[in-house]
Copies of this chain bind each other. A is one copy, B any other.
Amino acid sequence: MMPLMNAPGTQNLNVELGERSYPIRIGPGQLAAAETLRPALEGRRVAVVTNTTVGPLYGEALRETLGQCEIAGEILWIELPDGEAHKTLATVESIITRLLEARLDRGSRIVALGGGVVGDIAGFAAAIYQRGIDFVQVPTTLLAQVDSSVGGKTGVNHPLGKNMIGAFHQPRAVLIDTDTLKTLPERELQAGLAEVIKYGLIRDAEFFAWLEAHIDELRALEPEALAWAIHRSCACKAEIVAADEREGGIRALLNLGHTFGHAIEAGMGYGEWLHGEAVGTGMAMAARMSERMGWLSTAERERAEALIQRAGLALDPPDSMSAERFRELMAIDKKVASGRLRLVLLRGIGQAELTDQFDVSALDATLHEGARVA
């Protein structure tokens, strides 16, 4: 059998973090690639954390691959209910109870099979189980593949704020099978594209131009285009994370659109808007605010908005999100350093900047403009 890692369209990447470095494998058919998983799992007890949507679709394929990894004992299979509503400390505690009941020790591994929510929950459970065990990410949504599977952010929501409870915990390996996108609802694909566009906007003008040329192929799930877009996104994120693992500096640029976006997600009730959808709109808001401050030309703002729109994403927040509601929700965001609001804004396509020296009237105008005619 030909090793699948050499299949056409397959991309390899290494996230460089010293002793916490790890490989990412990207391409079609990766779910069957035991040679990627074996080094991380061989001789270990393994728990798979997935959900009731992804488990039935890809659980059997993963089980088969794990069967070739020489793991110790039976696989502990944990299927969570689907949805952001379950991204809570209570769910993490229920996973830990299962791990303890099955007597998984500190040398055991967790494999997260699913989207960003599954990855965040399972990664956080791994981070705090017996003060930290290793885990492997098998992300099955575009958003998780280009964003949450790289960088080691794990965590859950609190009623008072998204991702308010969590830890930095790097995976041992990430396995990205682009075939899994075939079963992804279109809305979720679009949400994932928001984060892909983000990398172009914050640091890679060339990639942004490539996306302008290939956005329709990506929406049509053209495999070569997908593998390249995911590779480039992961590479961008990996470079940023390697330079700033714990988000002291440039890593904050990854939050372009997120301060506005988190407010939309929280304001509408988690799960109503997908994270990526909210980020897409948040990026459009950041672009408009940047234009108002004279940081971004009108032409650049129009390019940003056009690509966001072509990805199928909304440029405007919902009518129910008043400026007042935005302000209330943004004040508690994690990006508020010592009580002062900091925003990621654009100096150009491919150039973002974190600042607390922004024009308050530009912020107000952006929050007040409400729904416009597109």
Contacts and interface: CB of A to CB of B under 8 A. Distances in A.
A354 to B, nearest CB: 13
Interface string A147-165: 0000001010011110111
A181 interface: no
Contact of A72 (B45, B105, B160, B339): B339
Nearest to A93: B89
B97 A128 contact: no
Interface string A41-67: 001110000000000000000000000
Nearest to A103: B332
Nearest to A165: B128
B131 A168 contact: yes
Contacts of A106: 334, 336-337
A296 interface: no
Contacts of A130: 163-166, 334
Contacts of A336: 103, 105-106
Contacts of A247: 131
A314 B131 CA distance: 30
Interface in A296-342: 331-332, 334, 336-339
A105 B168 contact: no
| Among A129, A131, A167, A337, residue most surrounded by chain B Cβ atoms (within 10 Å) | A131
Interface in A120-175: 127-132, 153, 155, 158-161, 163-168
Given A132-B168, A153-B131, A160 B97 contact: yes
Nearest to A331: B103
Contact of A100 (B89, B100, B332): B332
Contacts of A72: 338-339
A167 B131 contact: yes
A286 to B, nearest CB: 20
A78 interface: no
Contact of A43 (B45, B101, B164, B338): B338
A32 to B, nearest CB: 27
Contacts of A332: 100, 103
Given A130-B166, A164-B129, A339-B105, A158 B96 contact: yes
A97 B339 contact: no
B131 A166 contact: yes
Contacts of A160: 97, 100-101
Interface in A336-350: 336-339
A44 B337 CA distance: 10
A107 interface: yes
Contacts of A129: 164-165
A138 B336 CA distance: 28
Nearest to A333: B105
Given A43-B338, A107-B338, 7 more contacts: A93-B158, A96-B158, A96-B164, A103-B332, A103-B339, A131-B166, A167-B167
Closest 3 CB pairs of A and B: A100-B160, A131-B166, A107-B338
Interface of A: 43-45, 72-73, 89, 93, 96-97, 100-101, 103, 105-107, 127-132, 153, 155, 158-161, 163-168, 246-247, 331-332, 334, 336-339
